[in-house]
Structure 1
């Protein structure tokens, strides 16, 4: 066996641990909040947007790294070969690397607040970080009580979108609040899908995720409603005159939504086959939010 053959599985584990596609979760709330601001003001501050995106990516990196660190303390990741702690065997290193990412991200948001001489944005993002810690950090670990999706909805929906909108306008908007509902649901969808394949590990670690509470069959049925709600809700806000008609471009992501629901419906009880459903959910999130934001830009 060649060195390349030996290293290939290791590379796949590292890519699974780093989760590059997941970072769209950090970018899309900033994109949508900025797009709503542009639609209403016709102003697009590129420097603020770029700084915010970079900071959001670093903050999400902190959340992903620290999640592996905190999960290593409960034993829930003992079968998760792509955990950063399991890959490196060095929990303190990962803990401090995560904290460095958090500090770097907050410094970026602080820079925006200083430019604008307004602490509102840093306050909103600190609240998001606080929710992120409540989700995963001891002694709270609210994700273990099945509250992760609710926390995710508010952190990546209303709070993050409002912060992005405010960073561009230094003002508030009911339209951005309505848009944040779409982003929040689409983001929570990813977390919801991540539970289907790890029910046994969650039960063993005492984690009462929604799928543990409902069972995979009921969870797959709820997923249909959960995913489908994004599209009629967008249409409803268009009919009310809150969203421009161009936001219906987000409906072009429907093929991914159908694929996700069909895949989970067929394989919800087979962990090996359903484990990739969160990546289909990432595609639903990415394309629906990207096209949704473009609708405001147009």
Structure 2
């Protein structure tokens, strides 16, 4: 009897770990690190109080997005077969709704603090627009993610806008360096979302969600993923050549083996849901290391 209970507990713990989506929080952490590193490259100073406040706020906001998305997906029925949906696990959608709102409020309070310290509303305005776009992804009546626009929203919010907001929070002006860095991070973030569609194409189709993979099919989708990944690596080469970013940016090429692993994995298993679902985690790994290497390159361009 105790053995069965232990197995059940272990299984539920795994579902909760999947529901919390800890690896996904790298999409909130990396833009802040990259933007702050770009600011350091520009002025050689670093405001740790603003950085930590922005980092915590970003984590809280992504928690709001993740939790609220489970609520919105429960409304459409797209998550009916998703055992690790927070709504399915708790059976209490109202509680999860208010919890998600608390995350959002606390995250915005942190951004308000930054704006108050700076006597400047720019960062608050950027983050507010990001939150509106984040809501439009799954929230009614927009549900733009159901119309295949999720990757574009991810690119804008977690790329140029998030990186530029982090950069501005340190130096209170904008730069081509933060924009170029944001483009690189935005593409790698969109790759994560793109990969998450392969294994759930049937559920997406039945719920009327026109994700890119529903529109393209898994085979063509795997080819598009290859093209996007090659484009990202090309930009890593191009930006230093054009002197938009320093030659230290070539360090980001060290993430190429992970990119290669991702592309090969999806090309091989694109139509095998049980195997291709791991591609999202490979994409997260690529996003994380690519972002960290970009941050290191920005810091080294000032120190060396």
TM-score computed with the length of structure 1 as normaliser: 0.99
Match of 1:255 in 2: 257
Q: CA–CA distance in 2 between the matches of 1:102 and 1:227?
A: 32
Q: CA–CA distance in 1 between the matches of 2:224 and 2:82?
A: 26
Q: CA–CA distance in 2 between the matches of 1:125 and 1:246?
A: 29
Match of 2:12 in 1: 10
**In structure 2, which of residues 37, 42, 52 is the aligned counterpart of residue 35 of structure 1?**
37
Q: CA–CA distance in 2 between the matches of 1:203 and 1:34?
A: 40
**In structure 2, which of residues 89, 98, 101 is the aligned counterpart of residue 99 of structure 1?**
101
SS in 1 for 2:80: coil
Higher mean C-alpha displacement, 3-12 vs 133-142: 3-12
Runs of 4+ deviating beyond 6 Å: none
CA RMSD of aligned residues (A): 0.7
Cα offsets for 1:266-295 (capped at 9, x unmatched): 100011111111000000100001101110
**In structure 1, which of residues 171, 182, 185 is the aligned counterpart of residue 184 of structure 2?**
182
Higher mean C-alpha displacement, 224-233 vs 130-139: 224-233
List gaps (5 residues or longer) in structure 2.
Answer: none
**In structure 2, which of residues 176, 183, 197 is the aligned counterpart of residue 195 of structure 1?**
197
Match of 1:130 in 2: 132
Match of 1:228 in 2: 230
Match of 2:68 in 1: 66
Cα offsets for 1:119-160 (capped at 9, x unmatched): 100100000000001111001000000000001100011111
Q: CA–CA distance in 2 between the matches of 1:208 and 1:199?
A: 9
How far 1:255 moved relative to its partner? 1.0
**In structure 1, which of residues 77, 80, 92 is the aligned counterpart of residue 79 of structure 2?**
77
Q: CA–CA distance in 2 between the matches of 1:45 and 1:230?
A: 30
Cα offsets for 1:148-207 (capped at 9, x unmatched): 000110001111111000000001101111111001000000000000001110011000
How far 1:102 moved relative to its partner? 0.3
Q: CA–CA distance in 2 between the matches of 1:247 and 1:89?
A: 47
How far 1:11 moved relative to its partner? 0.6
5 Å-filtered alignment, 1:242-281, equals: 242-281=244-283
How far 1:4 moved relative to its partner? 2.1
Q: CA–CA distance in 1 between the matches of 2:261 and 2:14?
A: 24
How far 1:5 moved relative to its partner? 1.8
Q: Would you say 1:121 and 2:118 are equivalent positions? A: no
Match of 2:26 in 1: 24
Q: CA–CA distance in 2 between the matches of 1:79 and 1:277?
A: 20
Q: CA–CA distance in 2 between the matches of 1:52 and 1:40?
A: 19
SS in 1 for 2:205: helix
Higher mean C-alpha displacement, 2-11 vs 124-133: 2-11
5 Å-filtered alignment, 1:209-228, equals: 209-228=211-230
SS in 1 for 2:76: coil
Q: Would you say 1:158 and 2:167 are equivalent positions? A: no
Q: CA–CA distance in 2 between the matches of 1:167 and 1:11?
A: 38
TM-score computed with the length of structure 2 as normaliser: 0.97
